[in-house]
Amino acid sequence: MNVRWVRRGAALFFLLFVLAVTWPGMLPFNRIHPLILGLPFSMFWIALWVFCSFLVLLLVDRVEAGARKEDE
């Protein structure tokens, strides 16, 4: 996969992350029910973004590491 696209994708993801946990992006998800894994939805929503960051960064690292190898 192209490094440039992955970087843009990651930047977009983290931008959406910021919008999704601040005003006004958080408003639609700022609710107690349904409880997920026992957590209020609002808390689960933020935790979900944190967890997805991990997956996105794993992908970024794979692609970037591949590109660095090609360079050498």
Interface with other proteins by CB under 8 A: which residues?
Answer: 3, 10, 14, 17-18, 21-24, 26, 30-33, 35, 37-40, 42-43, 46-47, 49-51, 53-54, 57-58, 60-61, 64-65, 67-68, 70-72
Backbone φ and ψ of 38, nearest 5°:
85, -10
Least gap, CB of 26 to other proteins (angstroms):
6
Task: Check: CB of residue 26 under 8 Å from CB of residue 40.
Answer: no
Cα dihedral value 12, 8, 59, 51, nearest 10: -10
Furthest C-alpha separation in the chain? 52
Least gap, CB of 58 to other proteins (angstroms):
6
Least gap, CB of 12 to other proteins (angstroms):
12
